[in-house]
Structure 1
Amino acid sequence: MTAAFILVINMVIAGIFAIAFGVVAATQRRARGAAWIASGYAMGILDVALEFLLPLQSDPTLVGIGIFLTYLLALTLCVIGIARHYGVTPPFRTLAAIWLLTLLAVPFLFTMPGPSMLRRILYQLPYVATQLLVGVVVLQSQRRQALDLLLVGLTALSALLYAVKPFIAATIGAASTPQSYIASTYAAISQSMGAVTLVALALVLLLVMMRDATAEMLVRSETDSLSGLLNRRGFDRHAERRIARALRTGTPTVMIAADLDHFKTINDRFGHAAGDGVIAHFADVLRESVSESAVVSRLGGEEFAVLITGADLSEGRRRAEAARTAFSAASLEDLGIDARVSASFGVAQVMPGDTLFDLSRRADTALYRAKAGGRNQVCVALHELPPSPTPLGVRAASGQRGR
Structure 2
Amino acid sequence: MSGAGFILAINFVVAGLLAAAFLTVALYDAKLTAARWFALGYGFGMAYFGIEFMIYMLGSNGPAVVFSFAVVLAGMALFNVGLAQKYSVQNPRTTMAVTFILSVVVCTLIQDQPRTSFWRMLAYQAPYFAMQVIGVWIVGFSRARGRLDTVLLVLLSASALQFLSKPFLMVVFGGTGATPQDYLSTNYALFSQTLSTIFAIGVALLMLVIMVRDILAAVTSKSETDTLSGLYNRGGFERLATEALEHAARRGTPFALVIADLDHFKAVNDTFGHASGDRVIQAFAGLLKGAAGAPPIAARLGGEEFAIVLPGANLIAARLFAEGARAAFSARPIEGLPADKRFTASFGVAELLASESLSGLMRRADEALYAAKEEGRDCVRVSRPAAVVAGLLAGRAK
Asked if the contact 2:176–2:182 (Cα under 8 Å) also holds between the matched residues in 1, the reply is no
Deviation at 1:236, TM superposition (A): 0.4
Identical aligned pairs, as a percentage? 40
Equivalent residue for 2:136?
A: 135
CA separation in 1, counterparts of 2:278 and 2:217?
28
Alpha-carbon shift at residue 302 of structure 1 (Å) = 0.4
Q: Distance in 1 between matches of 2:386 and 2:297?
A: 22
TM-score when scaled to structure 1? 0.91
Q: Is the 8 A contact 1:254 1:349 kept in 2?
A: yes
Deviation at 1:59, TM superposition (A): 5.8
| Matched position secondary structure for 2:112 | coil
Please name the residue that 2:379 is paired with.
377
Partner of 2:100: 99
Equivalent residue, structure 2, for 1:29: 30
Deviations 1:53-96 (A, max 9, x none): 32477761211110111000011111111221222223334323
Verify the 8 A CA contact 2:66 2:104 in the aligned structure 1. Answer: no
Aligned residues: 393
Match of 1:344 in 2: 346
SS, match of residue 33 in structure 1: helix
Q: Structure 2: 5+ residue runs without aligned partners?
A: none
User: Could you report, residue by residue, the CA deviation over 1:115-161 in whole angstroms, capped at 9, with x for unpaired residues?
Assistant: 22111001001111222332332222245544223222222222222
Closer/same/farther in 2, CA of residues 20 and 59 from structure 1, 3 Å limit: closer
Contact kept? 2:60, 2:180, Cα under 8 Å: no
- Residue deviations 1:367-393 (CA, integer Å, cap 9, x gap): 111111111111112447969x99xxx
Matches within 5 A, 1:4-403: 4-55=5-56, 60-171=61-172, 172-335=174-337, 339-383=341-385
Letter aligned with residue 377 of structure 1: C
Q: Could you tell me how far 1:344 is from its partner in structure 2?
A: 0.6
Aligned mates of 1:93, 1:179 — CA distance in 2: 35
Distance 1:15 1:335 in 2: 58
Report Cα offsets for 1:264-301 as digits up to 9, x if no partner. Answer: 11111111111111101100111122232441111111
2:336 match: secondary structure? helix
Equivalent pair of 2:115/2:179 in contact (CA under 8 Å): yes
Distance change (3 Å), C-alpha of 1:85 and 1:62: same
CA positional deviation for 1:338 = 6.0
User: Does structure 2 retain, via aligned residues, the 8 Å contact 1:252–1:350?
Assistant: yes
Query: Are the counterparts in 1 of residues 261 and 345 from structure 2 also a CA contact under 8 Å?
Result: yes
**Structure 1 residues 384 and 284: alpha-carbon distance in aligned structure 2, compared to 1, 3 A threshold:** farther
SS of 1:334's partner is: coil
In the aligned structure 1, how far is the partner of 2:338 from the partner of 2:55?
73
After superposition, what is the alpha-carbon deviation per residue over 1:8-66, rounded to whole angstroms, capped at 9, x for unaligned?
11111111111110000010234231100000010011111211332477761211110
Q: What is the alpha-carbon distance in structure 2 between the residues aligned to residue 70 and residue 385 of structure 1?
A: 76
Give the whole-Å Cα distance in 2 for the aligned partners of 1:289 and 1:218.
25
Match of 1:110, SS state, is helix
Contact 1:349 1:384 in 2 (8 A): no
Asked if the contact 2:107/2:123 (under 8 Å) is kept, the reply is no
Q: Is the 8 A contact 2:66 2:108 kept in 1?
A: no
